[in-house]
Chains A and B, each alone.
Chain A
Amino acid sequence: MNDKNSQKIVDIIQNWARKHSIWVLAYGTGCGAIEIPPTMTSRYDAERLGVRGAATPRQADVLLISGYLTVKTIKRVIRVYEQMQDPKYVIGFGSCTINGGMYYDSYNTINVLDRYLPVDVYINGCMPRPEAVLSGFAQLQKRIAAGRATGAQHYKENLEWYRANQKKIIPNWVMPDYNW
């Protein structure tokens, strides 16, 4: 009983730290990336929430899938996602990650991001304004504080399912079986 309580307190403190310091990988995967610079700079200032850019996946917490994901990009995104350290989150940015958006019938893009990567928060819009982006980050903060941002865990547990989906669309698979 004592252990569970102290574990809960440790979790609460850790989640508080994690929610107020979110490092986003500097990786613009699609056209939604055009909305990131206004969010980070002076007018809408994401840094007051603790959101900062990180240079490499080893240092980043959040992978921001900004817009459509082509088949060519998803191969690199999967590699980058697996190189990040736990706990890590994925934010689906824009309508293309939810249901394919503008490119729903393209031969080259994916339609539902959740089949290939575990998504924690979706921000819809095409593209979302910086206020919507900030609200999406706030939503992520709430999920982290509640302890429900467990996408990475879910990915590890259902790896075969995710891998099967990924291998279905990526023709030349060069990744190792798992990267951790």
Chain B
Amino acid sequence: MEMIHIIFLIFFGGAIITYFAGKVSKVLQDILFLISVLVPAYLFFAYVSMGKDVSLTLGGISLIWGVNHFSWFFSLIVLGLGSMAAIYSLGFMKGKERKGYFYFNFILSIMSMMGILLSQDLISFFIFWEIMTWTSYLITIYSGNDIQRIGIKYFVFSAIGAYAMLMAIVMVHHLSGTFLIGDMIKIYPHMSLSMQIWIPILFLMAFGVKAAMMPLHVWAPDAYSNAPMAYTSVFSGALSKMGIYGMVIILVTMTNQIPQGTWFREILAWLGGITAALGTLWAIRQDDAKKLLAYSSVAQLGYIITGIAIGTELAMLAGLFLAVMHALFKGTLFMVTGAVEKQTGTTNFNEVTGLIRKMPWTFLAALLSIIALAGIPPLGGFVGKWMLYESLITSNHYLLVILVFFSSTAAFLYCYKFLFGFFLGQEEKEWSHVKEAPAVMVVPMVLMGLFMFVLGTFPGIVLKPINNGLVDLGFVDSFKHLWNSSIILNGWGNQVVLQPILYYIIAVFVFFAIFLSWKGFRTTRYVTTKDISSSGEVPAEDENLTFSVGFMQPFLRAVAPAMRRQIDKYYTGIAEGLESLFEFMRKVYTGNGQTYAIYVFIFVVVVLLFKNVLF
């Protein structure tokens, strides 16, 4: 029995045992949960080697599993973020009910994502894709409110995508006789043109739903907000990357081989750009932190899709690097929201404010993530954004670079709204009892934040695996000199040294911080947020001076024409149209047995009467 078999067995068995261990003891359940997630992660990185495929035969079909460089790179995201989220959920789920249900689905989610990455044949890919869909659906409806609207919407979209993929798999099998992904890629150039167009479109429907590309993104804001925050960090960080994984495989290996492939890439790139711009605008409008982060996820995924759709090496590097950064900072931000929700009970900006002095570590993690999201040096997001802009300019997508830049600048607005809404602003009396989140929740957040800082200075840590993965997929490797961990290759010229600049930034900052602190040290004092220059008035203790309603109103007024139409309304319109059609059908299919008996009777009479004409 190979290591991969053992890993899957631990995941699956661990899920079941953890579910039932809840009836024995809560502590045992927590320990078993951690073991089920962390042990397979360790085993995977320590023992599984590339190139060796293992198989499992079920009923005449063999499922083949194996690792190549590209899936190994994605497994870094899945298992890294999954482990951190698992540690975090121990603290987050403390005191909540139905923990077994949550743990069971969490472990199976991670297992299904690993399964997707390890699948070498389409049947096991599909099986794990479906497991991923229903486990995430079950956790989305964990809280039990609005199951109909949110859960069913998510499930319907995923199901449509998955069945489109199933159709494509069946077509591929019909044309090639095998289920292996490698074989599908080999015979792709020999298919007829209509097949060459349809199969990627069907696959892209499935992957586009998971990667929340407009117009298939409507499930994302509600589903991300409704799931418990410990899972949403994995949901938004790792699950959406499964869509990206599939897209890269389809785009790079299949559509690159045909000359019409450029159309696919152009359309996808523009869809990615529009997703980025519109997602950012909608994120600015939200008042609830969860919805804001959800729309922001949609926008960031737009960047990633643009990157991988452009198709040059630098663009793929940029897209995949941004994918890693997005998993890190979005995971951390959802964890921060979960910590605030656990300590205060709400995530609405209009209700909670001024938590910086009460939850300083949470603020630090949030600050590092927001700086990475905004793409500001010296953190890692800048490296990804820079490569993306360069690749867009070198590949002559000038208008797209303006669109991406617009969305990147507008992202500053909702970044500030997130930080200001939760942590800065007036300190109100009703939140004076709030304490810092427990250590088991804070440590993963801060660790991920510090890792983003490290990635900003040494992007090579992640760029090397990406490079290997892309070489595996068939890119000609002109980036052999990406070994050195602090040099970024510029597609237009020489090597660039970014590290000294970052040291200067830190040195200048420290110098001026010391200047500000040392000058007049004894005569500088701290005053509370009630001692502000409010026209000479002394605010009472319970007077509410928080500014949060209509926070970005001037900007929203300026961009109001672009936000007039909501795609959600179109889907709801279609759904309602279908419902009225079904209402009409109800008139025929009444469900009444006697009506059906009359139908049969009339049919027999008609056939007997007109049998000379009909036969």
* Residues 162-180 (chain A) with a chain B CB within 8 angstroms: 174-176, 179-180
Min Cβ gap B429→A in Å is 16
**Quick check: is A57 within 8 A (CB to CB) of the other chain?**
yes
Interface stretch (choices B134-142, B389-397, B532-540): B532-540
| B contact residues, range | under 10
User: When the two chains form the complex, which single residue of B523, B525, B536, B540 contacts A80, counting CB atoms closer than 8 Å?
Assistant: B536
In the complex, what distance in Å separates the CA atom of A139 from the CA atom of B535?
28
> How far is A27 from B533 in the complex, measured between Cα atoms in Å?
12
Chain B neighbourhood of A76, CB < 8 A: 535-537
Bound-complex Cα distance A56 to B535 (A): 8
Which A-chain residue is minimally distant from B536 (CB atoms)?
Answer: A76
Determine whether B531 belongs to the interface, using a CB cutoff of 8 Å to chain A: yes
Name B536's contact: one of A77, A86, A180 (CB within 8 Å): A77
B537 surroundings in chain A (CB, below 8 A): 76, 79
Bound Cα distance A80, B538 (Å):
10
How many residue pairs between the two chains, A and B, have CB atoms under 8 Å in the bound complex?
23
The listed residue (A56, A86, A174, A179) touching B531 by CB distance below 8 A is A179
Cβ of B332 to closest chain A Cβ, rounded Å: 35
CB distance from B601 to the nearest CB of A (A): 89
Q: A52-70, CB under 8 A of B: which get 1 and which 0?
A: 0000111000000000000
State which of B525, B533, B535, B538 has its C-beta within 8 Å of the C-beta of A175.
Answer: B538
A residues 123-151 with Cβ under 8 Å of B? none
CB within 8 A of A79: which of B523, B525, B536? B536
- Encode A80-99 as 1/0 by CB contact (under 8 A) with B: 10010010000000000000
Q: Counting chain A CB atoms within 10 Å of each CB, which of B531, B536, B537, B538 scores highest?
A: B536
A83–B538 touching, CB < 8 Å: no
A75 CA / B538 CA spacing, docked (Å): 10
Per-residue contact bits, chain B 493-527, to A (CB 8 Å; 1 contact, 0 not): 00000000000000000000000000000010100
Cβ-closest chain A residue relative to B539:
A174
Q: A180–B540 Cα gap in the complex (Å)?
A: 18
CB within 8 Å of A: which B14-37 residues: none
B525 contacts across to A, CB distance below 8 A:
180
Q: How far is the CB of B123 from chain A (nearest CB, A)?
A: 69
Checking A57, A58, A77, A79 against B538 with a beta-carbon cut-off of 8 angstroms, the contacting residue is A79
CA distance A86 to B524 in the complex (A): 11
CA A47 – CA B533 in complex, angstroms? 25
Q: Which residue of A lies closest to B535 (CB)?
A: A76
**Chain B residues near A180 (CB, 8 Å)?**
525
Name the CB-closest residue of A to B530.
A176
- Closest beta carbon of chain A to B526's beta carbon, Å: 12
> In this complex, what residue of B is CB-closest to A81?
B536
A99 to chain B, nearest CB (A): 25
User: CB-CB < 8 A to A77: which residues of B?
Assistant: 536
- Write out the residue numbers on chain A whose beta carbons fall within 8 Å of the beta carbon of B540: 174
Q: Is the beta-carbon distance between B535 and A83 smaller than 8 angstroms?
A: no
Closest B residue by C-beta to A173: B538
A77 to B538, CA, bound (A): 11
Contacts of A175 in B (CB 8 A): 538
Once the chains bind, are A56 and B533 in contact (CB under 8 Å)?
A: yes
Shortest CB distance A50–B (Å)? 22
Query: Which residue of chain A lies nearest to B537 when distances are taken between CB atoms in the complex?
Result: A76
- Give Cα A27 to B534, complex, Å: 12
Enumerate chain A residues within 8 angstroms of B531, measured Cβ to Cβ: 83, 179
One of A83, A86, A174, A176 near B533 (C-beta < 8 A): A83
A75 / chain B contacts, CB cutoff of 8 Å:
536
Report the bound CA distance from A174 to B525 in whole Å. 22
Contact A58 B536 (CB under 8 A): no
| Cα-based distance from A180 to B538 in the complex (angstroms) | 14
Chain B residue contacts of A79, Cβ below 8 A: 536-538
Q: Which of chain B's residues has its CB closest to A174's CB?
A: B538
Query: Which of A27, A83, A176, A179 is packed against the most chain B CB atoms within 10 Å?
Result: A83
Judge whether A58 and B535 touch: CB under 8 Å. Answer: no
- 1/0 per residue, CB under 8 A from B, across A5-21: the answer is 00000000000000000
Among all A-B residue pairs, the 8 with the closest Cβ atoms:
A76-B536, A56-B533, A80-B536, A79-B536, A174-B538, A57-B533, A58-B533, A175-B538
Contacts A56-B533, A79-B538, A174-B538 known; 9 new A-B pairs at CB < 8 A: A57-B533, A75-B536, A76-B536, A76-B537, A77-B536, A80-B533, A80-B536, A83-B531, A86-B523
Question: Can you list 23 A-B pairs with a CB-CB distance of less than 8 A?
Answer: A27-B536, A56-B533, A57-B533, A58-B533, A75-B536, A76-B535, A76-B536, A76-B537, A77-B536, A79-B536, A79-B537, A79-B538, A80-B533, A80-B536, A83-B531, A83-B533, A86-B523, A174-B538, A174-B540, A175-B538, A176-B538, A179-B531, A180-B525
